Structure 1
Amino acid sequence: MTEHVSPESFPDESAPQTFKPSLAAGAVVDAHDPGYSLPSDPLSRARLQDWQDHKFGIIMHWGIYTAQGLGDSWTLCRSRDEEMMLLPADFSGDDDAWEAHYKAARTSFTGQDYRPEEWAELSRKAGARYLVFTSKHHDGFNLFDTKHSDFKVTAPDVPLGRDVLKETFDSFRAEGLETGVYFSKADWNHPGYWSPAGTTVDRFHNYDAAAEPERWQTFVDFTHAQIEELLSGYGPLNVLWLDAGWVFAPFEPIDIDRLAARARELQPGILVVDREVHGPNEDYRTPEQQIPDHRPEYPWESCVTLSEHWTSLSPDEQAKDPREVVEMLVKVVARGGNLLLGVGPDPTGAVPPSIRAALEAIGTWIGVFGEALYGTRAVSEGLVPGNGLAETWEGGAREGAGATWWLTEAPAREGEPGRLNLLDLSGDAERLSVPLSRTVASVEVLGDAVLAGWRQGDDGVLAAELRPAEGADGEGEGAALGVRAVVVRFV
């Protein structure tokens, strides 16, 4: 997690240089946390419940940085105090030369192989329920047909010449996914943020805004105008996902309260996520490239990349092992969160084979285990007596060894009595013994196992016996990816 530093606190160039881990590209944590509060808007509260049911989403990044073999636009940040900010090793020139070179890449951004319908179908089959798509990263290059900037994908000097955002949203909605928009509050191309007359040394605005309030106001007005475009011209959106967590009052005020209020006028019920700026405009929280080691007491999603980058640097981009992803998904859901998986096209716009294969495998797995994830919450206290609010229950594996069962609960709704789902990531469990405070109506096993029998004693303890399914390889190579689950439905 990057530090929140003041613009006056520049590094000593004579000191040895070390790099901070880039766990949260773009997120600078405000030291003050007033605590989480639910959205005051009733429609947003209802939408938040629906969003928590989705459990799995896709975030897509793409831009002129991809065509340069970069995962994002951070090389424009001149402080160079993180590895992601370093200039490419094969570039010779100063910071000004690099900025000119970087921005000139728009003229070779063809994206000829980008087929949003292909990404949408793949995401649906992967089991994702919603999309967050990058409209603009910190570099200020717009992937939509904004009327307020010529630095955009539809400009005459950009060969791609397509409103990528519109095409993508249309395609994902056609596949039944909800759509949200990523928008960077910073804009390193706008003269009201990085003034041509200023000296740019880091990620922040590069002039004295107090001495030039009119210049700063042009940037605020520009930001509000672009949000207005996105929320009025691109169909129904479930989330406004605002990045650049260092842009907040009093140092960089953008009148966020007015912006959020206008967003809800334009899109009733929309969730506004001013990420890393804790307060009334952070409807849920988004830890980046990490999973909390506890159960947060607020709505949250972990945004984690499928590969090492937020987009694909080449057709050879290597995805994480699908097994690793499903383990992350189970742990996130058991702790009450959503998983937002980061993917992106290669420089041509295509889906790299490794990314495709991983998403297909994840989708096959969710086809088996989805009912243990979708619509669930972290297990409620008292459902498993003696377990408190723990997300796991120990016991019941091969040869008497302990198994760790990850717990999710589907609350009773609209006549449905609710259920408890227990997932064993080892795939070894042959028995389950767990105390329950409710009467069991039925038990079902998911994965490479079948139910040999079950009973609930007078003390409430559920005992179930499992045996390998016929034809199961026992090595976790099939659709189950080494996972077993028990679904307990209550009376």
Structure 2
Amino acid sequence: MAGETIKQSAEKQIKDTIEDNRDREAEVLPIDEEEEAVSLQKVGTEEMIQEGVHNYSSADSYVWPADDKVVQKLEWFKDQKLALMMHWGPYSQIGIVESWALSDADAYWSRNCIDWDVSGEEFKKQYFDLNKTFNPIRFEPEKWAEIAKEAGIKYLVFTTKHHDGFCMWDSKYSEYKTTSPDCPFHTHRYADICSHLFESFRKRDIGIAAYFSKADWHIDSYWSERFDRGNYQYRGPSYDTSENPKEWERFVEFTQNQILELGSKYGQIDIMWFDAGWVCKENKQDIRLGEIIEKIRKFQPGMLCADRTVGGAYENYVTPEQCVPDEPLGIPWESCITLGTSFSFAYEDTYKSPREVAGLLIDIVAKGGNLAINVGPQPDGRLPQGAVKSLLGLGEWLKVYGEAIYGTRVCAPYKKNGIAFTKKQDKIFALETFEKDTDEVPSQVIIPYEGKVSRIYMLDSGEEVDFKKTDTGYLLELPKWKKEKAPIARVYCIE
């Protein structure tokens, strides 16, 4: 079977893989603080990538949209707060990082679970052949959408195509896709994965963001052995685009056709989410993204475009990865953070608890951002049970406290002394979070809020709370906590 060698190797070394993934997650910092960040050439702003984790654009490079419909859509985006991100493709079969192991320049970290008795060239061939064994016959888009709805998810960010070029939709511009005859899944009723998944989520009033990589390591107009680099491939094109304008134009036409296909044949798309900013930053030419986005906006008015790390008019919001900014950014943003240890599916992975995810969400929302929590589906088409349990636990919390999350905006002092703040119209929410089940739950709490207060009550019960003004805020007198475990958060409504 194609890919069997690396599959066996991955299974033998899976414990090492998981530990490596955990180490990478634990070490994630804002990239400009990493001493060994891989620095790329720059056009305008600089992008750095450390082991597949991207930096995010600064507020200085943000361009507020002039299109009123895009402005209105940004307000919708800021109301949503919680997205489900999904990285899924043939790579999920062997439990390795998505796509990156194909790049020879990134082999030092991305092939850490690959049997090095297999040459790099043999590995790349085996990877590209994984489409011939991808057969997720237990994929049920309605179940995914129902889980997302119960979890409180408001929009989906789904990888229609990652850097490896494999299309999760029936693209007429590529044969490397789920509906191609050499992919066993092509006979399944859900073979056009994007079509069925998007429709299932829309039926539950969950928005759609189509993730699309501007790189395509499968098509020969981007990667080819015909140029000086030969077999050795880097994340960028394998040729100088200024010296090969016809080849580059061939790639641009292919890319624009696929983007238009997604934007015109797959129903309402709320956001187009573009990865691989280096594609344009390393070249004098680019893919002329604005042309195709404006064409789509003629029939999808206001559709947002997240041209991540590029800045400018088509990065309508910025995307911190595996980190949360220290302060509000003052512009629209979304942190994409893994629920487990990896964006792609990892065997025997561990997942953040509902308490941890709620804490992340509160921190992000208090700073004016959204959380895109990532789950990598299993190769058989199911969502991992550990991930589902965590998502549903988060949903139970949001059913009670969602008013303090959804549709809110930043409120000074944002976060102070363990208390996070949000606001909705004239109502202020103060969220007191607890990191562990065993944390002490005090009977006296100081809310460090400086505005005038006439009334404070508990969001869950509606019970009014006695308080008095102090030099540091408002002192609340609360009943003794009688439950065995600390709550995820106590939420106070301030009027």
TM class, shorter-length: 0.7 to 0.9
The residue correspondences of 1:68-467 to structure 2 (distance < 5 A) are 68-80=94-106, 83=109, 85-86=110-111, 88-90=113-115, 92-161=117-186, 162-198=191-227, 199=230, 200-249=232-281, 250-314=283-347, 316-379=348-411, 389-394=412-417, 404-410=418-424, 412=425, 418-426=426-434, 428-434=441-447, 435-440=449-454, 442-446=455-459, 451=463, 453-454=465-466, 462-467=474-479
Q: Contact (CA 8 Å) 2:337, 2:372: kept in 1 or not?
A: yes
Whole-angstrom distance in 1 between the partners of 2:91 and 2:223: 19
Question: For residue 491 of structure 2, what is the amino acid of its counterpart?
Answer: A
Higher helix share: 2
**Which structure is higher in RCO with an 8 Å CA cutoff and minimum separation 6?**
2
Q: Contact (CA 8 Å) 1:452, 1:464: kept in 2 or not?
A: no
Whole-angstrom distance in 2 between the partners of 1:174 and 1:487: 33
Call closer, same or farther: CA 1:33–1:327 in 2, change over 3 Å. closer
Question: For residue 176 of structure 1, what is the amino acid of its counterpart?
Answer: D
Question: For residue 118 of structure 1, what is the amino acid of its counterpart?
Answer: K
Q: Contact (CA 8 Å) 1:129, 1:177: kept in 2 or not?
A: yes
Establish whether residue 475 from structure 1 lines up as the match of residue 485 from structure 2. Answer: yes
Whole-angstrom distance in 2 between the partners of 1:104 and 1:252: 31
Question: For residue 458 of structure 2, what is the amino acid of its counterpart?
Answer: V
Call closer, same or farther: CA 1:88–1:197 in 2, change over 3 Å. farther
Secondary structure in structure 1 of the residue aligned to 2:399: helix
Secondary structure in structure 1 of the residue aligned to 2:114: coil
Whole-angstrom distance in 1 between the partners of 2:168 and 2:335: 24
Call closer, same or farther: CA 1:297–1:196 in 2, change over 3 Å. same
Secondary structure in structure 1 of the residue aligned to 2:278: coil
Q: Contact (CA 8 Å) 2:274, 2:306: kept in 1 or not?
A: yes
Whole-angstrom distance in 2 between the partners of 1:34 and 1:421: 30
Q: Contact (CA 8 Å) 1:4, 1:28: kept in 2 or not?
A: no
Q: Which runs of 5+ in 1 are unaligned?
A: 8-19, 380-388, 395-403, 413-417
| TM-score, normalization by structure 2 | 0.83
Q: Contact (CA 8 Å) 2:345, 2:375: kept in 1 or not?
A: yes
Whole-angstrom distance in 2 between the partners of 1:82 and 1:39: 40
Deviation for aligned residue 1:456? 6.6
Secondary structure in structure 2 of the residue aligned to 1:370: helix
Whole-angstrom distance in 2 between the partners of 1:444 and 1:453: 5
Question: For residue 189 of structure 1, what is the amino acid of its counterpart?
Answer: H
Deviation for aligned residue 1:421? 0.5
Question: For residue 106 of structure 1, what is the amino acid of its counterpart?
Answer: N
Deviation for aligned residue 1:160? 1.1
Deviation for aligned residue 1:191? 1.0
Whole-angstrom distance in 1 between the partners of 2:473 and 2:246: 69
Call closer, same or farther: CA 1:419–1:97 in 2, change over 3 Å. same
Question: For residue 289 of structure 2, what is the amino acid of its counterpart?
Answer: I
Question: For residue 405 of structure 1, what is the amino acid of its counterpart?
Answer: I
**1:486 is matched with which residue?**
492
Secondary structure in structure 2 of the residue aligned to 1:367: helix
**1:50 is matched with which residue?**
76
Q: Contact (CA 8 Å) 2:59, 2:329: kept in 1 or not?
A: no
Question: For residue 390 of structure 1, what is the amino acid of its counterpart?
Answer: P
| TM-score, normalization by structure 1 | 0.84
Secondary structure in structure 1 of the residue aligned to 2:342: coil
- Percentage of identical aligned residues: 32
Question: For residue 432 of structure 2, what is the amino acid of its counterpart?
Answer: D
Deviation for aligned residue 1:453? 3.4
Deviation for aligned residue 1:436? 4.5
Deviation for aligned residue 1:313? 2.6
Secondary structure in structure 2 of the residue aligned to 1:283: coil
Task: Please give the per-residue CA displacement for 1:214-238, whole angstroms capped at 9, x wherever unaligned.
Answer: 1110100011000110000011111
Whole-angstrom distance in 1 between the partners of 2:111 and 2:469: 63
Secondary structure in structure 2 of the residue aligned to 1:444: strand
Deviation for aligned residue 1:378? 1.1
Question: For residue 68 of structure 1, what is the amino acid of its counterpart?
Answer: I
Q: Which runs of 4+ in 1 moved over 6 A?
A: 456-461
The residue correspondences of 1:3-82 to structure 2 (distance < 5 A) are 3-6=38-41, 21-22=50-51, 24=53, 27=54, 34-80=60-106
Whole-angstrom distance in 2 between the partners of 1:49 and 1:468: 40
Question: For residue 173 of structure 1, what is the amino acid of its counterpart?
Answer: R
Question: For residue 150 of structure 1, what is the amino acid of its counterpart?
Answer: E
Q: Contact (CA 8 Å) 1:4, 1:246: kept in 2 or not?
A: no
Deviation for aligned residue 1:451? 4.1
Task: Please give the per-residue CA displacement for 1:302-323, whole angstroms capped at 9, x wherever unaligned.
Answer: 0000001113233x33211221
Whole-angstrom distance in 2 between the partners of 1:126 and 1:120: 10
Deviation for aligned residue 1:195? 1.9
Deviation for aligned residue 1:264? 1.9
Call closer, same or farther: CA 1:308–1:453 in 2, change over 3 Å. closer
Deviation for aligned residue 1:363? 0.8
Deviation for aligned residue 1:88? 3.6
Q: Contact (CA 8 Å) 2:165, 2:176: kept in 1 or not?
A: yes
Secondary structure in structure 2 of the residue aligned to 1:248: helix
Call closer, same or farther: CA 1:81–1:103 in 2, change over 3 Å. closer
Pairwise CA RMSD of aligned residues? 2.5
Whole-angstrom distance in 2 between the partners of 1:248 and 1:33: 20
Deviation for aligned residue 1:89? 2.9
Q: Contact (CA 8 Å) 2:100, 2:106: kept in 1 or not?
A: no
Whole-angstrom distance in 2 between the partners of 1:101 and 1:23: 21
Q: Contact (CA 8 Å) 1:61, 1:344: kept in 2 or not?
A: yes
